Structure 1
Amino acid sequence: MQNTLKLIVFSFMISLLAACVYKRDLPQGNLITPDMVSQLQPGMSRQQVVQIMGSPLMYNAFDDSLWNYVYRLKDADDNITEKQVSLVFNGNQLADIQTSGDIDASPRVDLGEAPASAAAAGPGEVVSPMGQPTSNPEGGAADPTL
């Protein structure tokens, strides 16, 4: 009788432990935000597009005038969000922007926050790892690893 009770309690504890599985969000691809897409304008160069959107996830091997940015998020509840931005270039200039999916859906990615002192750093200053602005004696871009 005592062994049966121990077996029942042990089985119950194992089933509780199995219910405590942590599932996290799984983002894949290029992060696409509404702000990024709104900055794209026909006539932009490829370099300007890379500065806004980053490198495309997929290059077309047969036609280098088409760049595809794809983002997929599977959250902990198994809901899937997919976004795609396809850019068509004419030579070196952006000619067409095509979007699919819910571009306005905000991604749930925590990028962290810069310390308040980072905004207070002026030209020729860098924020040290302790959050204090330090001046750069050369006047140019300072090494942020100091």
Structure 2
Amino acid sequence: MLKEFKDFAFKGNMVDLAVGVIIGGAFGKVITSIVNDLIMPPIGLLLGKVKFNDLFISLNGTHYDTLADAAKVSAPTFNYGQFLSTFLDFLIVAFVIFMVVRQITKFRKKEAPKEKAPATKSCPHCLSDIPAQATRCKFCTSELASGSAVSGSIQ
């Protein structure tokens, strides 16, 4: 069982997947920082010095100045500002992934499907289906020219 686990865990695809997950997690943190530290502050400034992470509605009817004040007393809150930030994170990540996948599909060469040689051919004398590589018909015993599906001669 240990050998099977080793074969499974260290296959090339598993290592690639692990690297992808680790890089994806780090990428998510970078995007979160971009949204919270670079994008939301100017938007908040344009909207009247609003901090999006502090936008909330207290569900118990009591007014709290900040979300931290509400959290201190364990007040139930509807944190729509944090939701907006998280949703913007998602949109940016989804857009970047879309662009990467789009570029990969542009660069990937599409291979034309290879046509298989037919497995059978018709005997020109008795019209029976015979293997394509046959040199003599198994039904009428006529000799067939090699490589030709319709020509042949009776001798």
TM-score range, shorter chain: under 0.3
The structure whose residues are more often strand, as a share, is 1
Which has the larger Rg? 2
The structure whose residues are more often helix, as a share, is 2
Q: Which has the higher contact order (CA 8 A, sep 6+)?
A: 1
- Give TM-score, length-normalised by structure 1: 0.24
- Give TM-score, length-normalised by structure 2: 0.23
